[in-house]
Amino acid sequence: MTAAVEMRACVLREPGVVGTETVSLAPPKLGEVRVRMAAAGVCHSDLSLAEGKLGDGRWPAVLGHEGAGVVDAVGPGVSDELLGQRVVLAMIIPCGQCDYCRRGNRTLCEPAGWRSFYGVLSDDGTLTAHNGSSRLTGSDGAVLQHGISVACFAEYVVMPAAGVVPVPDSIPLWQASLIGCGVVTGFGAVSHAAQVQIGERVCVVGCGGVGLQAIAAAKLAGAGQIIAVDLQAEKLEQARLFGATHTVLSGGPDAAHEVRELADGGVDHAFEVVGLPVTMRLAWDVLRPGGAAVIVGLAARGAEVSVPAIEMLSEKRMIGSYYGSGDPGLSLRSLIALAAEGRLELAGVVSHRVGLDGIPEAFERLRRGEGNRTVVILDPELAQAQATPNQFKATPE
């Protein structure tokens, strides 16, 4: 019988108070698996949660929602064939039965959203009910939430078997970890939310880990022009490597005008990947009539953005995109296949690799807008973080 494990994890005790602790993880229940974590990406959503910007009461919690590892235990009702399987974690596991799922909006699954907000896992093995509990306990005996339903800034996670997606041996797990959020979010915004067509003009505002993937997705979709916008020149240089045809250094009043000039009047699609009202407005201002601004960045609760109402007559649109706006399982499998074929760049978005104790500094880099994705190496051997040097050519120590 599988026993509980004591492990190290990054715990949010209250907004702004984050650190490594020893916690206890209960064994998997009906329909669940336990995954020994190899690596996890540090996403801006983790920072927003850690700062209390995503709602009250979402702590204490183990943070982290973008990761990969190896299944090392299964609960009742789960086949032993999963044992030893290398997997990527999905932070949304649609129920398939709620109104949103039946309409095809599977990333908006209502029971999945409820579990994510309250940081719990289902108690009865189903994905449809509004009930659940945590498998995590702190050293003080207090129950800890599963941050954004995953809690993968830890040596192990327990989650529904439906939320793990197999990864072939050809993809190092430190790279595969990024597929579970940053990659699926960026690619899905382009392919599902905007449905970019061959020859269309695209602008990406914000060239961090997700923004770079949106640029790569636009290139793969055949966009005729891809304009990258960022405050930092070094990020714009990286954007060109991912497929940007033009770059604009933002921060002044003329950035929108410069984009419109480059795009001969405006772009068909603008992707905002920052999460600030000012950048959302910039994404709106670069559009041509009939264009759409796709908001990918996660804004703090209470933040608002305004646009000139008269411009609605030009049929410009502002829409949101959450976790790629597609079917999470299908999207993850497709992206894993692309990576296995060498058509999806993963290592190039990573600027730092750290251990669990490096997460607070990774948050500081996010606050300062420095670097791109940080990957937390939880198990160097599983993560293949002792790989040959050429695998780290875009990844400084």
Render pLDDT for 9-36 as a digit per residue (tens, 0 to 9). Answer: 999 999 999 999 999 999 999 999 999 9
Question: Both tokens of residue 30?
Answer: 């009906």
Read off the pTM: 0.94
What is the spatial distance between Cα 79 and Cα 347, in angstroms, rounded to a whole number? 32
3-state secondary structure 334-397: HHHHHHHCCCCCCHHHEEEEECHHHHHHHHHHHHHCCCCEEEEECCHHHHCCCCCHHHHCCCCC
Does 387 score more than 90 pLDDT? no
What is the spatial distance between Cα 114 and Cα 110, in angstroms, rounded to a whole number? 6
Q: Mean pLDDT across the chain, nearest whole number?
A: 94
pLDDT band at 115 (very low <50, low <70, confident <90, very high): very high
Q: Model confidence over 70-87: pLDDT tens digits?
A: 999 999 999 999 999 999
Question: Both tokens of residue 338?
Answer: 């692309």
pLDDT at 386: 55
Question: Both tokens of residue 237?
Answer: 């240089």
How far is the first Cα of the chain from the last one, in angstroms, to the nearest whole number? Answer: 40
pLDDT at 252: 77
Burial 130-157 (b: 16+ CB within 10 A, else e): eebebbbebeeeeebbbbbbbbbbbbbb
What is the spatial distance between Cα 194 and Cα 172, in angstroms, rounded to a whole number? 30
How many other C-beta atoms can be found within 10 angstroms of the C-beta atom of residue 190?
29
Q: Which contacts of 95-99 are long-range, i.e. CB under 8 A and separated by 24 or more positions?
A: 95/126, 95/127, 95/128, 96/127, 97/128, 98/128
Q: Model confidence over 124-139: pLDDT tens digits?
A: 888 987 889 999 999 9
User: What's the helix, strand, coil split of the chain in %, to 5?
Assistant: 35, 25, 40
CA–chain centroid gap for 31, Å, is 24
How many other C-beta atoms can be found within 10 angstroms of the C-beta atom of residue 129?
14
Q: Which domains does the chain have, with CATH numbers?
A: 5-181+326-392 (3.90.180.10), 186-320 (3.40.50.720)
Instruction: Fill in the DSSP letter of residue 313.
Output: G
pLDDT band at 385 (very low <50, low <70, confident <90, very high): confident
